[in-house]
Structure 1
């Protein structure tokens, strides 16, 4: 079809499982994607985005329907399609022992790029990704953001007619994410490249000419971002958070009334929300109880949340753990639950964390933020007792980690960045295994497993490896809370999950904090910093800012006052510029 990069009609893909039966990952889907444009696929976990991308790439064959990519019938000629496209999956396969240049050479060999074309192509990719200085560095020594940029460069060692990007910015900090999108936009503008991207970030989808909202293998809506935003027209407002009230408490109050409010999320110290069409005015007034509200421009995420809520049989069903969790009764001695003094961690001559100090109070939500490679993961691992400090004092749950690491670790829960459970075991079997590892007795373990299954709305007999991302995250949370810890460490727990699942996650965290659990969290979603009582921003091992979200936005000055994403970028770039001036002096 003239002017179309992809044309799908009644496309269906079914996965068959002996235990779960048939799963219709793509269900009678039809769409058309125009040439020379940036197109987004968005949707909740399990919507079928990755399956659809893999069919576009000729890696999966449709069970029913027709699919043409670049005018080619993919089912009949997958190799002809693959010869003309570049595809970057969620887990792009860099060779970590090879240097940046060696990875580029290897992928050029695999794609049959002529030697005569390589010098110019490599130079352009290295310039666009700002990696010309790092060609001799092993890929395994790069930060997550740099790995993603190298993956994109390797994907583009040949000049394709279509670029497919499946969640390219998962686990990438705001600065690296901004750089990645500059590269993609430059390719569209300069080369007229057709790009299809799946993403969990609605601000990324806003950049696209066309957006397809998917749910359970179907397209719910499509169009330019502006036309989709109109679906929320007249329903979007900002509620001013009363003095002394955390924005997350107001958000929880609003989101717990699905009869009146479709969605609510903290932003800039206040709460942005979407009213239900035709919400009863007296009941809305009772809910707000005198809180000032003002209309705000609708955003693509507003339309996205409206569309997804309309698909739910019961709007609150996805919000697991809306009540406070049971936790071990903490002592109330007024002391901080975490005390860090002059913490240093070195790897040889490299200082990953430089003389860091802070306290965390009991029941506080404390966020550790920073670019990839900033030192926050190293700090996080020291706080968990997984990595010893080079020097300094570190006390967790009243225990000195130098002398009583095992006792401290018995009082904490940990949820890793990547799904670290056993995929071949059922939900119940995973809970039994981890509960036994925590030393729970038979009766206590049985009772805690039942409580976690109910609290997180889990199917106990489901295979863990087959769960959608949002449910894997729920199971990881359940295992971390089995032994009723006083402190819960969460390492980028929402990486790669959609806004709907993130709302459910944070409703859980808000309830846990009310129940007395202290939360330490790392995240690359800057909107999530607004849920925290305090946040710390690190870069190059140094603490750049620490305070409440409002205080940190104020530290960024007028450029960062609008939202936390802008504040984060302003603070990090200012600190890097200052380090550059000191180095040049």
Structure 2
């Protein structure tokens, strides 16, 4: 048996978009993926991960270098390579008007799988993915996690020598992500399957035997997760601040400090990477706070590598001024959103069950839950995009049942899939959305200039939106939503599939907006982002399970210092055991 399933040497690929400078997607990339193992490819948006995957499949040709997959030269024998591998792209092509079984049959037909082979293969795949009870359900009626598992099953209707997965868990909740990775590990162990996966989740990459870090088309580092973690040895610390100092404010202050490489809230504290082991950030000296050493993680090494590589080119998002640090508790501020006994049904199906809560001015409020929990339905009702079946709902002091149009004037909205016009430039998108908000020409030009500067889009003004990396699309969507200075900003999974560096920048922007009095409602599947929220609400099967500050919820669950992934899974699993009565 070959020891390597992928052998890439000196791979380069440049694109030449019309009216724009050439884009060097890959530059002299080397990668070896070992047979029968999980190999991870990680990197920020636009790093070249998807381009590399497509080269492996023979869907495009490299400009330079050699590429062998399962011992075959991809450039010379692309069809032979495609016959030996299976590829699940970011937007896998399920047929939503077909059932689970019909989708499996369709992909089996495409690959020429015999009836005898199907019987055994389908039974195993359905059992492994937990889809056996749902073979008659339409794919369009499945939750996001179930769709991803069905996509994986369709990709594996035949037994490939190599499985390529391009961010397979983007937009999927922690429970579903855990289940999908259990499936992958089982396939590797039982079928000796070789897998190359790109992912934005560093904890997923940590489950792989080898990890490659790609940035701006160049390979920065490679090795086992343990080997890469050594890059952060001695530089990782945990900082605990008093309750009067918000974690997201402390994070922003730390990121302003030149002796800090990275800072992120974790487990009710802020995790800090300093430039040297002995470095002490100024804010810690000022308040007499201590930094406690913690073991390095893969994400720490990843952030160090990105900062080292991009130090000369990346513009840091400005932090808050020191006077903004000790902010007023948002829960002492007036109520901006009130929901009482909120219900939403679709025929006989109850999507949201008698839910009540308040959101205060300037609060960052997180709506969390597994796929299919009812959080998106709740979110859409709050935005005025979907009427409630019953109950009371007011937004910015306006009763949504009586004056939905008036309420919408106070709202900014960023959709999960970024409602941008791909054929328009950054500037043209902003002009279009500004026109919808009714801004005068003078107001609009002033606001476009302001938001492009705030979100670092000025140099991208003439770029067509569809060609922007995910992080820039997110910035443009945020800029468009804030053109009319709304009182309340709704963010529907705005960081789905976006790398850790882009997420840090995004949350610094949210911190500034919140400090300025903007109320933020956010849904997310990155549970670590719940740490940034003043309060979180977790739903499942339409029911409200828990509502409170992250630390209050940890205390209630007797999980001090636990990360929010563990907290989320514990809450949902306990509630399901009790019949979704809440914690």
What TM-score does the superposition give when structure 1 sets the normalisation length?
A: 0.95
Distance in 1, matches of 2:354 and 2:278, equals 53
Partner of 2:44: 44
2:234–2:277 CA contact under 8 A, matched in 1: no
Partner of 1:506: 507
Aligned Cα RMSD in Å? 1.9
Distance in 2, matches of 1:226 and 1:284, equals 31
Distance in 2, matches of 1:27 and 1:481, equals 37
Distance in 2, matches of 1:530 and 1:285, equals 20
> In the alignment, is residue 403 of structure 1 matched against residue 366 of structure 2?
no
Partner of 1:376: 375
- After TM superposition, the structure 1 = structure 2 runs for residues 237-252 of structure 1, keeping only pairs within 5 Å, are 237-252=237-252
Q: Give the Å deviation of 1:563.
A: 1.4
> In the alignment, is residue 13 of structure 1 matched against residue 7 of structure 2?
no
Instruction: Describe the shift of the 1:322–1:133 C-alpha distance in structure 2 as closer, same or farther (beyond 3 A).
Output: same
Distance in 2, matches of 1:566 and 1:45, equals 27
Secondary structure of residue in 2 paired with 1:106: helix
Partner of 2:539: 538
Q: Give the Å deviation of 1:551.
A: 1.2
What TM-score does the superposition give when structure 2 sets the normalisation length?
A: 0.96
Distance in 1, matches of 2:519 and 2:314, equals 25
Q: Give the Å deviation of 1:218.
A: 1.2
Instruction: Describe the shift of the 1:286–1:124 C-alpha distance in structure 2 as closer, same or farther (beyond 3 A).
Output: closer
Instruction: Describe the shift of the 1:346–1:321 C-alpha distance in structure 2 as closer, same or farther (beyond 3 A).
Output: farther
Partner of 1:65: 65
Instruction: Describe the shift of the 1:71–1:230 C-alpha distance in structure 2 as closer, same or farther (beyond 3 A).
Output: same
> In the alignment, is residue 117 of structure 1 matched against residue 117 of structure 2?
yes
> In the alignment, is residue 364 of structure 1 matched against residue 375 of structure 2?
no
Secondary structure of residue in 2 paired with 1:524: coil
Secondary structure of residue in 2 paired with 1:579: coil
1:228–1:303 CA contact under 8 A, matched in 2: yes
1:309–1:315 CA contact under 8 A, matched in 2: no
- After TM superposition, the structure 1 = structure 2 runs for residues 199-218 of structure 1, keeping only pairs within 5 Å, are 199-218=199-218
Deviations along 1:390-414, one digit per CA (max 9) or x if unpaired, are: 0000000000000010010001100
Partner of 1:304: 302
Distance in 2, matches of 1:82 and 1:468, equals 27
Instruction: Describe the shift of the 1:279–1:140 C-alpha distance in structure 2 as closer, same or farther (beyond 3 A).
Output: same
2:149–2:180 CA contact under 8 A, matched in 1: yes
The 10-residue stretch of structure 1 (91-100 or 284-293) with the greater mean CA deviation from structure 2: 284-293
Distance in 1, matches of 2:319 and 2:461, equals 16
Distance in 2, matches of 1:391 and 1:580, equals 21
Deviations along 1:200-252, one digit per CA (max 9) or x if unpaired, are: 00000000000000011111000000000000000000001123221111111
Partner of 1:230: 230
> In the alignment, is residue 462 of structure 1 matched against residue 463 of structure 2?
yes
Distance in 2, matches of 1:506 and 1:291, equals 23
Q: Give the Å deviation of 1:508.
A: 0.3
Q: Give the Å deviation of 1:311.
A: 1.3
1:367–1:534 CA contact under 8 A, matched in 2: yes
The 10-residue stretch of structure 1 (509-518 or 22-31) with the greater mean CA deviation from structure 2: 22-31
Distance in 2, matches of 1:523 and 1:409, equals 22
Gaps of 5+ in 2: 325-330
Gaps of 5+ in 1: 326-331
Secondary structure of residue in 2 paired with 1:475: helix
Secondary structure of residue in 2 paired with 1:367: strand
- Give the number of aligned pairs: 573
Q: Give the Å deviation of 1:263.
A: 0.2
Deviations along 1:339-371, one digit per CA (max 9) or x if unpaired, are: 000000000000000000000000000000000
Partner of 1:328: none
Structure 1 consecutive aligned stretches of length 4 or more whose deviation exceeds 4 Å: 278-281, 283-288, 320-325
